[in-house]
């Protein structure tokens, strides 16, 4: 089964228009999440999930913004999640792909109402340093299982 990693967008961004990988690198959390994602899959199978832009490849140029999914209603979150799944289904066979979502509960909630095979290593823990150990454990187990 193919694996794709979806990394949450972050509040801290570089100003201006940049490739997504650089735009979000202003955040220590994003840097950690990207490091973990890269230890699991190739860059072509890593995307940023953005409250404003939905699904973003790492090399796509986007403009900095201040917009959050946490401010949205449950219905708006579900609508956003459906948009992301529609984009993913155009890129992958979603029935034969595991999606690892490195994101907080708002993003996990929005995506959990869709027919995806999803692992959410930070669900219930939250983003940031509090979840790093749990994420590292997940990545270790993932890579161990991948090598078997």
* Closest to 135 (Cα-Cα) out of 84, 108, 98, 101: 101
What confidence category does residue 148 fall into, taking pLDDT thresholds of 50, 70 and 90?
A: low
Q: Give the Cα separation of 31 and 22 in Å (integer).
A: 10
CATH number, residue 83: 3.40.50
- pLDDT exceeds 90 at position 3: yes
Q: Measured at the alpha carbon of residue 88, what is the angle toward residues 56 and 2, in degrees to the nearest 5?
A: 105
Looking at residue 128, what is its pLDDT?
Answer: 79
What is the pairing mode between strands 54-57 and 17-19?
A: unpaired
101/107 Cα distance (integer angstroms): 8
Mean of pLDDT values over 35-58:
96
Q: Domains in the chain: how many in total?
A: 1
- 73 is in which domain, residue-wise? 2-147
Report pTM. Answer: 0.92
**pLDDT tens digits, residue range 107-121?**
989 998 877 788 889
Distance CA 116, CA 136 (A): 23
pLDDT tens profile 82-92: 999 999 999 99
């Amino acid at each position: 089964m193919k694996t794709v990693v979806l990394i949450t967008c972050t509040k801290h961004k570089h100003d201006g228009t940049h490739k997504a990988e650089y735009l979000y690198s202003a955040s220590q959390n994003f840097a950690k999440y990207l490091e973990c994602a890269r230890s699991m899959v190739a860059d072509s199978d890593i995307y940023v999930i953005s409250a404003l832009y939905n699904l973003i490849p790492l090399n796509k140029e986007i403009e900095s913004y201040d917009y959050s999914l946490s401010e949205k209603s449950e219905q708006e979150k579900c609508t956003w999640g459906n948009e992301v799944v529609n984009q993913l289904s155009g890129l992958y066979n979603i029935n034969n792909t595991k999606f690892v979502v490195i994101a907080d509960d708002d993003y996990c909630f929005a995506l959990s109402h869709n027919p995806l095979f999803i692992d959410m290593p930070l669900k219930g823990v939250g983003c940031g340093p509090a979840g790093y150990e749990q994420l590292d454990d997940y990545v270790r187990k993932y890579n161990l299982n991948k090598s078997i």
